[in-house]
Structure 1
């Protein structure tokens, strides 16, 4: 099983989490079908896909974050065995747009998906050495059992949609 297939399998086992595999050319359509309006986002950390032309507000105000149904952010790390994505805390607001709206759409390239936590930590170690030191590891919707029954969406999104971009061959 490939890392992408394992990642999709792990995502499918999480509640309220779906994934889509698409090409860079088909990304705008995949994004459009994944978001509910109003949508906010942070610039994606990729060269071949962006939020340019999408109906997504970049650099949202606090009010726009509160009102947003969907937040879109990029991830340069997916962990296949867990269905986890790493969201870097950047000045563009990646962390905020991944946590405040009801739905988080994470965008990751298939070449950025590592098979397991060990290889994910090796990637993080390299990032830390390069001075990039603030990441959130997110696995599905937020959930807490602190007050009894398990409740989703208390301190983060209620739903997650991961768009996996195929690498150009």
Structure 2
């Protein structure tokens, strides 16, 4: 008898006879739709993560983008609504072949979002036409993300019900940050140092 057989034999003896699987698996988590979305909670979570939140009407999105990135060079995905961009902004349209160096040299990026989670303060991008490739939201220093208030859901199960798991999902909870062993926070290591979330009412 090998050592492997001996160890496995002892494990089988200790565990006893296998128990049948339960007929129905109990699920202790809250299902989608159990709680209404709380927009104020979402804003609190974003603020706690050191993101900057702007709440405005649809007609004021360009003004907010101008306040954050006016006069600077920004990358925008091909399907982003152009009326969100102010006049005095230098736009680099990302058409899937914009070189990495040009994306990295841009001052910021403006995107939409697929959905957002109030409970965790998380924004989800799915690479849609108004969100673009993942790389454009990771390299520039400033990310301005515009989302409608009705895109904010209460919980992660609610968000999962709104996205296609086959798409490239990026879950963003505040600006990119990491901490070393002494808990010194460093921002901008794996993505933008500054996240501005524009919530359109």
Q: TM-score over 0.5 for the alignment?
A: yes
Q: From the superposition, tell whether residues 54 and 87 of structure 1 become closer, same or farther in structure 2 (CA, over 3 Å).
A: farther
Query: Which of the numbers 124, 131, 136 marks the counterpart of 1:86?
Result: 124
* Counterparts of 2:79 and 2:112, CA distance in 1: 5
Q: How far, CA to CA, are the matches of 1:76 and 1:105 in structure 2? A: 14
**2:167 aligned with 1:133, yes or no?**
yes
Does the 8 Å contact 2:62/2:86 carry over to 1? no
Deviation at 1:35, TM superposition (A): 1.7
Larger Rg: 2
Alignment of 1:3-14 (within 5 A): 3-14=38-49
Residue in structure 2 matching 1:109, options 130, 139, 148: 148
* Distance change >3 Å, CA 155–CA 4, structure 1 → 2: same
Deviation at 1:4, TM superposition (A): 2.0
Q: Distance in 2 between matches of 1:54 and 1:94?
A: 24
Q: Is the 8 A contact 2:37 2:153 kept in 1?
A: no
Relative to 1, partners in 2 of residues 1:94 and 1:118: Cα closer, same or farther, differing over 3 Å?
Answer: same
CA RMSD of aligned residues (A): 2.6
1:40 paired residue number: 75
Tell me, in whole angstroms, the C-alpha distance in 1 between the residues paired with 2:133 and 2:181. Answer: 29
**Corresponding residue of 1:18:** 52
TM-score when normalising by structure 1? 0.80
**Are the structure 2 counterparts of residues 54 and 67 from structure 1 closer, same or farther at C-alpha, using a change threshold of 3 Å?**
same
**Structure 1: gaps spanning 5 or more residues:** none
* Greater RCO (Cα-Cα under 8 Å, separation 6 or more): 1
The whole-number CA distance in structure 2 between the counterparts of 1:74 and 1:13 is 21
> Counterpart of 2:192?
157
What do residues 96-129 of structure 1 show as CA deviations (whole Å, max 9, x unaligned)?
22110111111111111111222112222xx23x
Q: Normalising by structure 2, what TM-score? A: 0.68
Q: How many positions carry a matched residue from both structures? A: 159
1:31 aligns with 2:69: no
Q: Distance in 1 between matches of 2:67 and 2:86?
A: 16
* Counterpart-to-counterpart distance in 2, 1:9 and 1:45: 27
For the structure 1 residues 90 and 147, does the alpha-carbon distance in structure 2 shift closer, same or farther, using more than 3 Å as the test? farther
